[in-house]
Chains A and B, each alone.
Chain A
Amino acid sequence: MALCDRALRWEELGEDNLGAPAQNEEFVIMHGDNIQATGFVEHIKLPHYVDFQSEAELVRRLRRMHAEDATPSQGDTA
């Protein structure tokens, strides 16, 4: 509740409008002030290894790609 209250007072506290979802009243109330709001955190308690696996594969592939790109240029400068 305190978090919800704090999120709605950004203007009054003179903070910059960053366009963040947490600064949008409709978004905060829809997601932060009802019983459904507990749901997203509850959902995080369930396993996500399939999603994480796909992220891990992506990060490995990107790293490999960047390593391959970086190797010849390092050779040039050395």
Chain B
Amino acid sequence: MSTLVREHYNFAYLDEHTKRMIRRALLKGVAIPGYQVPFASREMPMPYGWGTGGVQVSAACMVPDDRVKVIDQGADDTTNAISIRKFFERTAGVALTERTAEATLIQTRHRIPEHPLSEGQILVYQVPIPEPLRFLEPRETETRKMHALSEYGLMHVKLYEDISQHGEIATSYAYPAEVNGRHVFDPSPIPKFDNPKLDNAPALQLFGAGREQRIYAVPPYTRVRSLDFEDYPFVAARAEHQCALCGALHTYLDEVIIDDEGGRMFVCSDTDYCNERQQANQETGNDAG
């Protein structure tokens, strides 16, 4: 396998010059947490919007000793996760895993794993729209100026309008947050339940948007504050149910329709964490909770 990999691809697909260019952008991103660094995104052998940015960031960080995990919507067995995992198996020949704790590099789409991350791990996010202000201000020239001047009033007005119209901040995913007391950033479309996990995380968090050609980063142990108001504080919402498989009351749940009569069950969206808990439950004699 490894000889085949070496014969057909440079390690992790990208050529070394491209990796150097991406690493430079990553270093700048780490040096200025939350700042969107433009980079010369390459065309990848997958459609734009399917994680081309995340894949390039992963490829630039990857070393042969890495153990890679890829998730989409929290699950290891979704189309996007499987195809990206196979891509790295083929082009880098790295070890693969589904266990969050064992992985050194995790690429994710739309979730942060439930299992707490540790020092030395790298979490790579696939980002569709890196600019948190894009829906408020379509012009890139303007949004860059707004970031430069820390001019985030527009975002606060948007959150305020949510409250006046709906009674609370009606943003439930891709919830804007302030990094290191300076830049407001879009944590990619993770449910806002995951936002607190961004804060002071021991792992290095990297964000890649291939189509929009932007990279940004949250270095380990960086303050990430979800935007809110004193009288309307940020709340990490989840479905008020119990996981039907592992009994968890503290995880983010997906709702699955199970029959034609509208029957439904709630299960953990993080499949690895759910399996881990189910095994533990079996060993301790089935006491869910």
Q: Which residues of A contact B (CB under 8 A)?
A: 21, 24, 26-27, 30, 35-36, 38-44, 46-51, 53-58, 61-62, 65-66
Q: How far is B270's CA from A14's CA once the two chains are assembled, in angstroms?
A: 52
In the complex, the answer to whether A46 meets B50 with C-beta atoms within 8 Å is yes
Q: Does B234 contact A (CB under 8 A)?
A: no
Asked whether A40 and B138 contact (CB < 8 A) given A46-B72, A48-B110, A58-B170, the answer is no
CB distance from A43 to the nearest CB of B (A): 3
Which 5 residue pairs spanning A and B have beta carbons closest together? A39-B48, A43-B49, A39-B49, A21-B138, A54-B172
Choose one: A21, A30, A39, A56; the contact of B255 (CB below 8 Å): A56
Q: How far is B29's CA from A72's CA once the two chains are assembled, in angstroms?
A: 53
Chain A residues, CB < 8 A from B173: 50-51, 54-55
- Chain A residue with minimal CB distance to B253? A53
Q: How far is B137's CA from A21's CA once the two chains are assembled, in angstroms?
A: 8
What are 13 A-B pairs with beta-carbon distances under 8 A?
A35-B48, A43-B50, A46-B49, A49-B73, A49-B254, A49-B269, A51-B174, A51-B191, A54-B172, A54-B192, A56-B255, A62-B168, A65-B167
- Chain A residue with minimal CB distance to B212? A36
Selecting from B31-39, B74-82, B177-185, B272-280, the interface stretch reads: B74-82
Asked whether A50 and B211 contact (CB < 8 A) given A39-B48, A57-B172, A66-B167, the answer is no
CB distance from A65 to the nearest CB of B (A): 6
Q: How far is B143's CA from A26's CA once the two chains are assembled, in angstroms?
A: 13
Provide the main secondary structure of the chain B interface.
loop
Choose one: B79, B170, B212, B252; the contact of A62 (CB below 8 Å): B170
In the complex, the answer to whether B72 meets A47 with C-beta atoms within 8 Å is yes
In the complex, the answer to whether B139 meets A27 with C-beta atoms within 8 Å is yes
Choose one: A30, A40, A41, A46; the contact of B80 (CB below 8 Å): A46
Q: How many pairs of residues, A versus B, come closer than 8 Å at their CB atoms?
A: 103
Chain A residues, CB < 8 A from B252: 50
How many residues of chain B get a CB closer than 8 Å to chain A's CBs? 43
In the complex, the answer to whether B79 meets A61 with C-beta atoms within 8 Å is no
Asked whether A36 and B48 contact (CB < 8 A) given A49-B254, A51-B173, A57-B239, the answer is yes
Choose one: B140, B189, B211; the contact of A26 (CB below 8 Å): B140
Q: How far is B47's CA from A49's CA once the two chains are assembled, in angstroms?
A: 20
Choose one: B43, B48, B72, B237; the contact of A61 (CB below 8 Å): B237
CB distance from B86 to the nearest CB of A (A): 16
- Chain A residue with minimal CB distance to B190? A50
Choose one: B109, B111, B211; the contact of A40 (CB below 8 Å): B211
